[in-house]
Chains A and B, each alone.
Chain A
Amino acid sequence: METKNDIMACRINGVIDINTSPELKKKFEKVVKEKVPKVLINLERVEYVDSSGLATMVEILKKMRAYGGKLKLSNLSGKVKGLFEITKLDKLFDISDSESQALGSF
């Protein structure tokens, strides 16, 4: 995780599923606790997300929204983007094609 100009940018690698979601939740507990106002998650290196992973992303979004925080996602692979589209979570999340596009839209 890296913070610049009050935006916290982070990259997630590998898999977001039922096994790895608890660790992701734990990492974002600090973000929520400190009420970080703007967070960008780059998912370029995420190759697999299951319904638990999607649920974790929704949970993080809800917790951030509760204190007025903004969460953006970028660089989703075709497969992962497809999951967001099928479940219509692409309507819930602010998704950008690139990190620079996301950073510029906060």
Chain B
Amino acid sequence: MNIGTKTSFLLNNTAGSLKEVSAGLISALLEKGVAEGTVFEIQLSFEEALRNAMVHGNRERPDKKVKVEIEISEKDVRLMIEDEGEGFDLEKLPDPTAGDNLLRECGRGVYLIKHMMDEVRYSDGGRKVFMRKKIK
């Protein structure tokens, strides 16, 4: 992944491909001297969004793909993840920190992404997410 250029991937719906592309992103950020805490937040958000795309979007179907675009500039990192699923309604996601939801075992992924990235935008009925985080 080169600084200033956009890199695109078409991933198979597997945990292995998720970890592979994530490892490349982490390594590029660390090489660039991005603070460890910031790298952690980007890694977590990226992996949560990718997993959502593979598991909830593509329903773990091996014939489905996930499109990923990564762009690292001097100032920020921009990530786009798009699945081939049916999408979801962001408004219908319950707040995982509210009342009894704290005891629920799922529903924290999108919440974490929103807290860790500077900008998060879902489009195309929830099939596509754009995330941005300042790195300087």
Contact = CB atoms under 8 A, between A and B. Distances in A.
A48 B36 CA distance: 12
Interface stretch (A3-11, A29-37, A50-58, A96-104): A50-58
Nearest to A92: B102
Contact of B108 (A48, A54, A78, A79): A54
The binding surface of chain A is classed by DSSP as: helix
Contacts of B103: 58, 62, 92
B92 interface: no
Given A48-B40, A50-B44, A87-B112, A55 B102 contact: no
**Interface majority SS (helix, strand, loop, mixed), chain B:** helix
Interface in B33-88: 37, 40, 43-44, 47-48, 51
Interface size bracket, A side: 20 to 34
Contacts of A79: 37, 40
Interface of B: 15, 19, 37, 40, 43-44, 47-48, 51, 96-97, 102-106, 108-109, 111-112, 115-116
A4 B17 CA distance: 43
A16 B118 CA distance: 25
A85 B104 CA distance: 16
A92 B105 CA distance: 13
A77 to B, nearest CB: 10
A14 to B, nearest CB: 14
Given A18-B15, A51-B112, A87-B96, A59 B105 contact: yes
A79 B106 CA distance: 20
A83 B102 contact: no
